[in-house]
Amino acid sequence: MHHVAVSHIDLFLVLLGVGAVGGFLSGLLGVGGGIVFVPTLYFTLQAFFPGHYHLMHVAVATSLSLVMATSASSAYWHNKRGAVDFDLVRTWTLPNICGVITGTILASYVNSTFLKDFFSIIMGLIAIYIVTAKDAAEDALPRPHRISKNIQKVLAGAIGMVASMLGIGGAILNIPLMNYIGLPIRRSVGTGSALAVTISLPGVIGYILIGLYKASALPPYCLGYVNWMALACILPMSMLFSPLGVHLSHKIPRQILRSIFAMVLLIVSWRMFTT
């Protein structure tokens, strides 16, 4: 009994740490914390609940639940600084949601190993883009002629699909695209936080409904694929540290912010792919 108690205390402390780091990165990078939540939840669930199936699905669904809350907080604080482009949010929201529905259904048909490897590959590709792409100037105006509005909507749908399969909220995919069409990096970060909410909400609902049919193969404390225990432990710390990340993001030079973003993605990608 003593060993079990220590294990649960360790689990509680680990989840608090995940919440603090994920919330801070959510505000700093506008990524909703999913790049931290997904791999850490996966490894944590694997360590504490060995023998259960669909652990990556649980990590993805729980991450989306966390992303929904942390991104809403991050978007609120970015909007206070005028860093959310609501015209773009309105244009991309419906395609994002359509993509999320498709991605959630697809995810239910693949195994955890596929989702894990898919996650690591996408993270690596985005990191390469972040390192090599040229940042838009702070006073740049959107340049829709580089990508037409219709093509933007198609890409937004694809982002919603991929994001819902990875549990990342979509900001790490939306931000490079927004940056490419001319939005400055800080405005892209703020808008990415707002779009992450429109992606994560339908994704969470879908994973709960689909996961109800897999209850016997899931670890304890799950509602569908969402692990409510992890959610309850991580969420308060995430909400506490998200404003600190937002504050720092407006103090750091653009190139340093870009480098931090790419470095975090590369570390996560490598760790997931080699495990």
First to last CA, the chain: 30
pTM exceeds cut of 0.85: no
Please report, as a single letter, which amino acid is at residue 148: S
Average the pLDDT over 73-81 and give the result.
83
74 has a pLDDT exceeding 80: no
Torsions phi, psi of 222, nearest 5? -105, 140
Q: Give the three-state DSSP class for 226.
A: strand
DSSP designation for 250: T
- Distance, CA of 100 to CA of 94 (rounded, Å): 10
pLDDT band per the 50, 70, 90 thresholds, residue 5: very low
Residue 20 contacts by C-beta under 8 Å, 6 or more apart in sequence? 237, 238, 240, 241
- Distance, CA of 49 to CA of 156 (rounded, Å): 36
What are 118-147's pLDDT values in tens digits?
888 888 887 887 777 665 555 455 554 467
